[in-house]
């Protein structure tokens, strides 16, 4: 595989289950050492796409290349090079956490130290607990350990932080950051905006099995001119006068007494105009906040749908 | 143009995850999976009840209590039947139940996602079954010997062959059942079928002690074939007849052929 070819390349992927079209002409490309987040609501086709890339599901149409091979054609050779965290994990119901990790480690040639990984992922206290008695977060952390223990060059993480507490989520984010730093490509699915914004080099927003937008989190959230600035000041100031002081197209409002909103593209000149105008009214603009669009806003604009967890 | 990232240096020193991929050696993968499954079987109370306690109780009970009319020494008729029951409990009932729950908990998919090839996934289960059966044969054989059983030494090698064939036939049936049904339903069917095969299949009672139509049915069931084959060869030392061997092979081929098409990973 040449270094310039993408690690994962999907073109025109279609997968149907009966009458339901789970994936409908999806394209994506992941380069080495990058983190790609497939973001979308439940039923958007994220898991199906990942399972096609892992060789568990065969595509009805389209071309899929993972590490230069067709995953459906030679899954065994491919799986020696990738790490997989299936949605909801997976283990023998009665197996102890550390025992399961040792088994998965035995399936790779140069595994990470199982004892270290168990301890760093906070699984020491439940290392001897049967899998079915682990909490959801513990099962998730074990599944993540199983995905990375074989030192893969590409990792698929299907909803890696589902069911985790905030500390667990932070730890997983830290681990994904370390994977990226060490040159491991990561394809993850999530319906958490915050997760995609925090981790991904590239966000691919999917809905109804199709890509509705893609780009870096910054590019996706900065594509609009529509921004807003909020501040607090003495109630009852003349908002029409404020709007008049700003360039045309800007709006100003006082939705709640003492709380003001200015809509339009916020740049340093606009900001200084606002604070200057307040000063001229004998008021101090306090608690000034510029709100950038979130991925959630982007998603709502593109699909008109709320993300559900 | 990248988003701010959490600092990863302290918990995960640089280079921790530097890729070094590759699959484990087949021998090591097979040993790890089979050893894990044997440990799980021996740790599971329901499985131990099925594979060891019930056969022990039957062996002692049938050999010492005159509940069923049997020729003396009673243990000579009882021991082979109980050994056949032990094989069936592990390879059929045990596998059907375990695989059903393993699928529900996603372990088959989990292991398939590693470098473990599909054939090793099946081989690991079979080696684990053989391991548990070997343990059963040693413990139950010793118990039977303690109860006065003196099998014909020349028949021991043939008996081993029959046990392996029995594992194949029952194992294929167990995988077919556990791999195609929901876990709870699979367990119900496996338990029911186990009781049927035990009662009507010549395990507890030799086929020649059963009324003719039942005996005929018993002879073509894998349980009857295994029990009768073991009884013959361990009593006479002669090779088993073609009948039991062909019945066991037939069940193996038929169940495996359907299982290859019908078994689902989850």
Q: Per 3-state DSSP, what percentage of chain B is helix, strand, and coil (rounded to 5)?
A: 75, 0, 25
Task: From chain A, pick out residues whose CB is under 8 angstroms from the CB of B20.
Answer: 109-110, 151
Of the candidates A232, A234, A235, A236, the residue with the CA atom closest to the CA atom of residue A287: A232
Chain B residues lying within 8 Å of A152, measured CB to CB: 19, 21
Q: Please check the confidence at residue A275 and state whether its pLDDT lies above 70.
A: yes
Is some CB atom of chain B closer than 8 A to the CB atom of A33? no
How many Cβ atoms sit within 10 Å of the Cβ of residue A71?
A: 24
CA-nearest residue of chain A to B15?
A: A182
pLDDT at site B204: 62
- Asked if A103 lies within 8 A of B115 by C-beta distance, the reply is no
How far apart are the two ends of chain B, measured CA to CA in Å? 41
In angstroms, what separates the C-alpha of A101 from chain B's closest C-alpha?
Answer: 11
User: How far is A136 from chain B, CA to nearest CA, in Å?
Assistant: 13
Q: Do B20 and A109 touch (CB under 8 A)?
A: yes
What gap in Å lies between CA A250 and CA A267, rounded to an integer? 12
Q: What are phi and psi of A274, to 5 degrees?
A: -65, -50
Phi, psi of A207 (to 5 degrees): -155, 140
- CA-CA distance, B83 to B63, in Å (whole number)? 13
* B19/A184 CB distance under 8 A: yes
Helix (H) or strand (E) holding B46: helix B45-48
Question: Which residues from B are below 8 Å from A112, CB to CB?
Answer: 16-17
Q: Do A106 and B6 touch (CB under 8 A)?
A: no
CB A79 within 8 A of CB A114: no
User: pLDDT of A167-201, one tens digit each?
Assistant: 899 999 999 999 999 999 999 999 888 888 889 99
Q: Which of residues 195-224 of A touch B (CB under 8 A)?
A: 197-201, 216-219
Instruction: Kindly report the average pLDDT of chain B as a whole number.
Output: 86
Q: In angstroms, rounded to a whole number, what is the distance separating the alpha carbons of residues A46 and A77?
A: 24
Report ipTM (2 d.p.): 0.84
pTM over 0.90: no
| Sheet of strand A286-291: strand arrangement | A251-256, A259-263, A228-232, A286-291
Residues 6+ apart with CB under 8 A from A167: none
Closest CB to B6: pick one of A81, A89, A170. Answer: A170
Chain A contact set for B29 (CB, 8 A): 106-107
Question: How far, in Å, are A36, A39, A191, B5 from residue A188 at the CA level?
Answer: 6, 9, 10, 16
Interface check A17 vs B, CB under 8 A: no
Q: Which residues of chain A lie closer than 8 angstroms to B3, CB-CB? A: 197-200, 216-218
Within an 8 Å CB–CB cutoff, is residue A89 touching chain B? yes
* Six token digits for residue B183: 């876990």
Summarised one tens digit per residue, pLDDT across range B115-166 is 988 888 888 998 999 999 999 999 999 999 999 999 999 999 999 999 999 9
Query: What pLDDT digit, counting tens, does each position of B74-115 carry?
Result: 899 899 999 999 999 999 999 998 998 898 899 988 999 999
- A13 phi/psi in degrees, rounded to 5: -70, 130
Query: pLDDT category, B71, cuts 50, 70, 90?
Result: confident
Residue A29 zone, left/alpha/beta (φ > 0; ψ -120 to 50; rest): beta
């Amino acid at each position: 595989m040449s270094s310039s070819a993408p690690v994962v390349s999907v073109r025109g992927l279609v997968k149907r289950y009966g009458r339901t079209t789970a994936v409908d002409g999806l394209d994506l490309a992941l380069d080495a050492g990058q983190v790609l987040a497939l973001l979308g609501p439940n039923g958007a086709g994220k898991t199906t796409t990942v399972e096609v890339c892992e060789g568990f599901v065969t595509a009805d149409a389209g071309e899929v290349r993972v590490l230069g091979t067709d995953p459906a054609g030679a899954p065994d050779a491919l799986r020696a090079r990738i790490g997989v965290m299936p949605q909801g994990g997976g283990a023998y119901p009665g197996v102890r956490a550390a025992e399961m990790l040792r088994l998965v480690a035995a399936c790779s040639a140069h595994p990470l130290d199982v004892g270290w990984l168990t301890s760093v992922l906070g699984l020491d206290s439940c290392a001897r607990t049967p899998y079915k008695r682990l909490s959801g977060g513990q099962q998730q952390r074990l599944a993540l350990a199983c995905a990375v223990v074989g030192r893969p060059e590409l990792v698929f993480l299907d909803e890696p932080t589902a069911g985790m507490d905030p500390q667990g989520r932070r730890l997983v984010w830290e681990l994904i950051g370390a994977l990226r730093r060490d040159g491991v490509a990561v394809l993850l699915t999530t319906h958490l905006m915050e997760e995609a914004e925090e981790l991904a080099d590239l966000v691919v927003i999917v809905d109804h099995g199709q890509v509705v937008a893609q780009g870096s989190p910054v590019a996706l959230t900065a594509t609009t001119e529509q921004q807003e600035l909020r501040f607090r000041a003495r109630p009852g100031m003349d908002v029409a006068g404020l709007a008049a002081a700003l360039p045309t197209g800007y709006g100003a409002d006082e939705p709640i007494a003492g709380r003001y909103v200015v809509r339009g593209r916020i740049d340093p000149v606009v900001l200084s105009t606002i604070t200057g105008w307040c000063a001229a009214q004998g008021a101090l603009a306090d608690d000034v906040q510029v709100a950038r669009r979130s991925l959630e806003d982007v998603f709502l604009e593109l699909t008109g749908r709320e993300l559900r967890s | 143009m990248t988003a701010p990232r959490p600092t990863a240096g302290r918990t995960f020193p640089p280079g921790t995850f530097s890729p070094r991929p590759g699959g484990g050696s087949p021998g090591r993968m097979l040993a790890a999976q089979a050893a894990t499954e044997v440990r799980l079987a021996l740790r599971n109370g329901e499985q131990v009840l099925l594979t060891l306690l019930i056969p022990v109780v039957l062996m002692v009970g049938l050999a010492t209590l005159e509940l069923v009319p049997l020729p003396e020494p009673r243990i000579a008729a009882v021991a082979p039947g109980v050994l056949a029951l032990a094989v069936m409990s592990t390879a059929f009932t045990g596998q059907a139940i375990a695989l059903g729950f393993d699928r529900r908990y996603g372990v088959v998919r989990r292991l398939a996602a590693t470098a473990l090839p599909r054939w090793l996934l099946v081989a690991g289960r079979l080696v684990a079954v053989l391991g548990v059966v070997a343990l059963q044969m040693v413990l139950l054989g010793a118990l039977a010997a303690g109860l006065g059983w003196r099998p014909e030494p020349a028949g021991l090698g043939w008996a081993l062959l029959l046990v392996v064939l029995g594992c194949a036939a029952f194992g294929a049936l167990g995988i077919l059942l556990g791999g195609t049904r929901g876990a709870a339903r699979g367990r119900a069917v496996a338990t029911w079928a186990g009781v049927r095969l035990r009662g009507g299949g010549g395990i507890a009672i030799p086929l020649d002690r059963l009324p003719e139509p039942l005996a005929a049915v018993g002879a073509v069931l894998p349980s009857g074939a295994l029990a009768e084959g073991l009884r013959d060869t361990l009593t006479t030392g002669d090779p088993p007849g073609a009948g039991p061997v062909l019945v066991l092979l037939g069940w193996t081929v038929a169940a495996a052929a359907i299982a290859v098409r019908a078994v689902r990973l989850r």
